[in-house]
Chains A and B, each alone.
Chain A
Amino acid sequence: GAVVSQHPSWVICKSGTSVKIECRSLDFQATTMFWYRQFPKQSLMLMATSNEGSKATYEQGVEKDKFLINHASLTLSTLTVTSAHPEDSSFYICSAFGLAGDAKNIQYFGAGTRLSVL
């Protein structure tokens, strides 16, 4: 139980295009999902907190118009990198926080999405 699926696992796009990343909790309802960014050999940096049915809360320094987050249901959150540029290339990871069943009040992470912007 407590599986978080992230899609796609790897995406390559041209500079100026937008990319959407999906994060799904497969066997539990996630009231809150988080989006992180990780550069090579570095730690995870929280970008935003996504609550179902409400606007995301962004961390300081994260552009909300650049990184659009939608959490339309208790099992799906999406991150859209708009007008992507090479400096946006990174490993994006989502996590889901649930209160029921096997989620047990723990953040479970997706496998990550590697974004390469050419």
Chain B
Amino acid sequence: GESVGLHLPTLSVQEGDNSIINCAYSNSASDYFIWYKQESGKGPQFIIDIRSNMDKRQGQRVTVLLNKTVKHLSLQIAATQPGDSAVYFCAENFSGGYNKLIFGAGTRLAVHP
């Protein structure tokens, strides 16, 4: 079946640097994408979302970029902090799919002081 995948399983960055987490999706019909952050032993926490009619959306210290041509999604975190250390999942949704989310494999972000 179609799935959402990630290029990098682990990303290590220095505190203060910018982080970029990538995600590839395969369902061209997906029209809504979400990034979640999951800390150890906790449920996913919503970070930012983007709809397919946009190619960029900014939040507080985070930016999501969507490239529909190559079916690629990225999450940029500015000035990464130790509290950003977690596993990040991208998820895709097809509006005709009853709001079901398909999650990617996840990328672990490790922030070093």
Q: Does B46 lie within 8 Å of A46, measured CB to CB? A: no
Interface majority SS (helix, strand, loop, mixed), chain A:
strand
Q: Does A106 lie within 8 Å of B49, measured CB to CB? A: yes
Residues of B within 8 A of A111 (CB): 42-43
B interface residues, how many (CB within 8 angstroms): 19
Q: Does A93 lie within 8 Å of B49, measured CB to CB? A: no
With both chains docked as a complex, state the minimum distance between the C-beta of A102 and any C-beta of chain B, in angstroms.
11
Q: Does A43 lie within 8 Å of B44, measured CB to CB? A: no
Q: Does B42 lie within 8 Å of A43, measured CB to CB? A: no
Contact of A49 among B98, B104, B105 (CB under 8 A): B98
Q: How far is the CA of A46 from the CA of B89 in the complex (A)?
A: 14
In the complex, what residue of chain B is closest to A108 when comparing beta carbons?
Answer: B46
Residues of A within 8 A of B42 (CB): 111-112
Contact of B99 among A6, A44, A45, A97 (CB under 8 A): A97
Asked if A43 meets B41 with Cβ closer than 8 Å, knowing A106-B46, A106-B49, A108-B46, the reply is: no
Interface check A107, CB cutoff 8 A: yes
Residues of A within 8 A of B98 (CB): 32, 49, 57
Q: Does B100 lie within 8 Å of A34, measured CB to CB? A: yes
Q: Which residue among A6, A44, A110, A114 has the maximum number of chain B CB atoms within 10 Å of its CB?
A: A44
The A33-72 residues at the B interface (CB cut-off 8 A) are 34, 42-46, 49, 57
Residues of A within 8 A of B36 (CB): 109
Report B8-42 CB contacts with A as 1/0, cut-off 8 Å: 00000000000000000000000000101000011
Residues of A within 8 A of B99 (CB): 32, 97, 107
Asked if A49 meets B103 with Cβ closer than 8 Å, knowing A109-B45, A111-B43, the reply is: no
Q: Does B41 lie within 8 Å of A114, measured CB to CB? A: yes
Q: Can you list 12 contacts pairing A with B, beta carbon distance less than 8 Å?
A: A43-B89, A45-B103, A46-B100, A46-B102, A49-B98, A57-B98, A95-B101, A106-B34, A107-B46, A109-B36, A109-B43, A112-B42
